[in-house]
Amino acid sequence: MHNLSDEQIDFIDDDIRNRGILLKELQENLLDHICCVIENEISEEEDFYKFYESVLPRFFKNELSEIQVETDNLLKFKNFYTMKKLLKISGIATVALTILGSLFKTFHLPGAGIFLLSWFITSVVFLSLLIILKLKDNEKLIDRIVISSGFLLAILIIGGLVFKVMHRPLAGVLLYSTIVFTFIYVPVYFLTRFRRPEQKFNVAVNSVLMMACGGVFYSLFNLNGSHYYKENLVENHQSIHKYSEQLFANNQELISNDSFPDSILEFHANSRNVNSELEKLVEALINQKPVEEVTTYLSEFDQQVGIYNNRIDDLTEPNLISLEKGTLNQVIISNKELAMNILARIQQQIAVNENTYISSYLVMK
């Protein structure tokens, strides 16, 4: 075993420091390891300096300062590896939940909403961890701002997608982030990073992909909705409403021209009450009343629907159908035209139920 001289040890110590190892404890540990390797492996005939240069690459891939950088990262960011593991887990979970949520939603299977909500949560976790890890790799302030802004916009877009698919309010507001992402963020990202020669190719590819994705999202989720789709909904609502009013008028004429038992008169009154609340709700939607006022009308309408359906349950007429509101409570704020269409069909069912009950009595009479 060869023993190193004090001069050789001082040379190693100085060289370690000159190569970028600044932390005192790290210098001492490296010095101890390198000295141990040299003393155990060098022969008496070999040149110390040449052997030292051959041993040193064992401790790094490109340069010795990598150890200093890695040590700084571990000291500043103690949970680095735990976060990387969580990043992988949340990424895999996001992909799996995306596939499951899409399949369940496509085939209208129960649990689709839970999968989509879970997908949103795992996506937020994944993107949040990615922001933290990316910020660690970027020293410049402008890079940190650009990277974090991009991921925050991505979170908003994902939230908008989930809200849109689940017909939740504020979906349109969240999807405004697609405009910001496509027409503001991508150009800023390109201009701030394309000037760097080592990043030109990656920045160009990333910018094209982000612009393409943003354009697709913007075209799929037109914030103003389809003009023709809205027109068709309005026409359909007006047509159903017209025929329902005619049927209500016929029912009223039958009631006025004959004597009916109390059960039919009471049902007629129930029908008028629920239809009256329905008309108030429709009028509030047409006049674009504040959300609080629309919600109040919706609550009163829900109460009358409950009374009406209880009345049907108490009657023995098998042809009467309870009122089903479907997705009315979910879309009434976010999609006025669709909500009015649902209300028109409910109004039609009220008129048909009333006519059915009156006609069954007249036939039996």
Q: How far apart, in whole angstroms, are the C-alpha atoms of residue 255 and residue 361?
A: 11
**Can you give the pLDDT at residue 75?**
65
Of 256, 311, 300, which Cα lies nearest the Cα of 275?
Answer: 300
The H or E element spanning position 186 is helix 186-193
**Can you give the pLDDT at residue 221?**
63
Of 231, 248, 227, 247, which Cα lies nearest the Cα of 341?
Answer: 231
**Can you give the pLDDT at residue 248?**
92
Question: C-alpha 222: how far from its chain's center?
Answer: 17
Residues 162 and 144: beta-carbon distance below 8 Å: no
**Can you give the pLDDT at residue 197?**
78
Domain residue ranges of the chain, discontinuous segments joined by +: 6-73, 78-220, 227-364
**Can you give the pLDDT at residue 137?**
65
Distances (CA, A) of 139 to 135, 145, 193: 8, 11, 13
> Taking the CB of residue 287, how many other CB atoms lie within 10 A of it?
9
Q: How far apart, in whole angstroms, are the C-alpha atoms of residue 346 and residue 325?
A: 7
Residue with tokens 């799929």: 220
What are the 10-residue block averages of pLDDT along the chain, 365 residues in total? 83 89 86 88 85 86 80 67 85 89 82 83 86 71 85 87 75 83 91 81 87 78 58 83 92 87 90 93 89 90 93 87 84 81 92 92 79
Q: How far apart, in whole angstroms, are the C-alpha atoms of residue 180 and residue 163?
A: 18
Supply the pTM of this predicted model. Answer: 0.47
